[in-house]
Homo-oligomer: A and B are copies of this chain.
Amino acid sequence: MVTIRDVARAAGVSTATASRVINDSPLVAGGTRARVREVAARLCYSPHGAARSLITSRTHTIGILLPELYGEFFSELIRGIDQTVQQAGFHCLVASARHTGPLLEAALRSMRGRVDGLILMSPEFTGELSRRTLPEGFPVVLVHCPPSELHFDSLLVANDQGARAMIRHLAGLGHRRIAIVRGAEGNFDAAERLRGYREALVECGLPNAAELEVPGDFGEESGANAVRTLLALPAADRPTAIFAANDSMAIGALSALRAAGLRVPEDMALGGFDDIPMARFMTPALTSVHVDISALGACAATRLLDLLQGRAGPAPYRETFATTLVVRESCGVRSS
C-alpha cells in the first residue's frame, strides 16, 4: 500500500508538504505542488480514509438506517440520498434492521465513529431516541418517523393531505360509501393515511363506517383479501369506491375485483398511494397519490450535509413533503 510517506519521499519533500498538496492547501509553491501531484498520480496514491478520519474526526460518510427493506421505495430513497452526498464527497453506509429498541440501538452503536451523521427512517418506530442511543448533538435527520421526538430534525410526507385529496376526489365523483384498505399495523404512514381518510369523510359529510376500514399490510395479497372482505358485505353496506393505502395493495385489489367479475371503475372505483411507475400501466390506469421519493431522499441528505458543514438553519428543522393526486382511469375519469 502506498502511503503519503512514499509520495513525499519520491517527490523529495516532507510528508507535511505532501499532505498540503493532497488537501489543496494554498501554502505550497507551484513547482512543488506540480511535482507532488505528478508523483502521487504515478504511484496511484489515494489517502487512507481511516487514518484521515482518525485525525480529522470526520469520516465523510453518512449512515442510512432503514427498516427491513423491500420494494422499490428504498432504492429510490437511497438513490436520492447517494446522488446528493456523492457530490459533496461523502459516502453512504447503509444498514437495515428491525427497529425494535435493542436492535435499533445496536445498529446505531455499531455505526459510531464510522459516520458523521445519520438519516434514520423508521415508520414503525415507537419509544424514543434516548441520549444513550444517540450521542448528544449527533447530527440526525429523521425521515418518515412519528414526530414523537420534536427536537430532532425530521422530514415527513404529507400522507394525510394526500389521502384527503384522494377521498375528496372520489366524493366529488359522487361516491358516498368509500372504503379504505389500511396499511401495516403500527406503521406511521399507514396511520396518517387513515387519519386523512377519516378527516376527509367528515369534511365531505360522508359516513365513517367501521366495516369500510379493512386491514392490510402494504402487500399485494392483502389488497386482494381486503376486496374479498368488502364484497362479502351486505349489498347495502358495500362501498362503491376503494382507497388502498399503497399501490401494491391497489394492484392486488384490482386483481381480486376482476376475479369477482366487477368492472373498474364502473362497478367499483379504485385509488392507490405512492404512484409507482407501474401504476399508469395498469388496466385501468391507476389513480394514485404521487410521492417523489428520490427527492425526499435528496432533501434529507441536503439537510444532513448542511448540518455537517455548519450551514444549517435553526433546529429543529421540520418539513412536510408534499404529495400530488394523479387522476387516471381507475376512479371514473376516462382518459383519452
Contacts and interface: CB of A to CB of B under 8 A. Distances in A.
B91 A248 contact: no
A259 B281 CA distance: 10
B72 A132 contact: no
Contacts of A109: 44, 46
B92 A49 contact: no
A61 interface: yes
Interface string A223-239: 01000000000000000
A111 B90 CA distance: 11
A71 B69 contact: no
A54 interface: yes
> Size band of the A side of the interface?
35 or more
Contacts of A248: 277-278
Contacts of A71: 72, 75
A73 B69 CA distance: 12
Interface string A37-57: 000000010111111011000
A113 B75 contact: no
A79 B51 contact: no
Contacts of A220: 277-278, 280-281
Contact of A95 (B70, B72, B91): B91
A96 B82 contact: yes
B112 A48 contact: yes
Copy total for this chain: 2
A282 interface: yes
Contact of A51 (B54, B68, B72): B54
A113 B54 contact: no
A73 B53 CA distance: 33
A94 B64 CA distance: 10
A321 interface: no
A168 interface: no
Interface in A243-277: 248, 251-252, 254-255, 258-259, 277
11 contacts: A1-B135, A44-B109, A46-B109, A68-B79, A69-B75, A86-B97, A91-B110, A94-B94, A219-B277, A224-B281, A255-B281
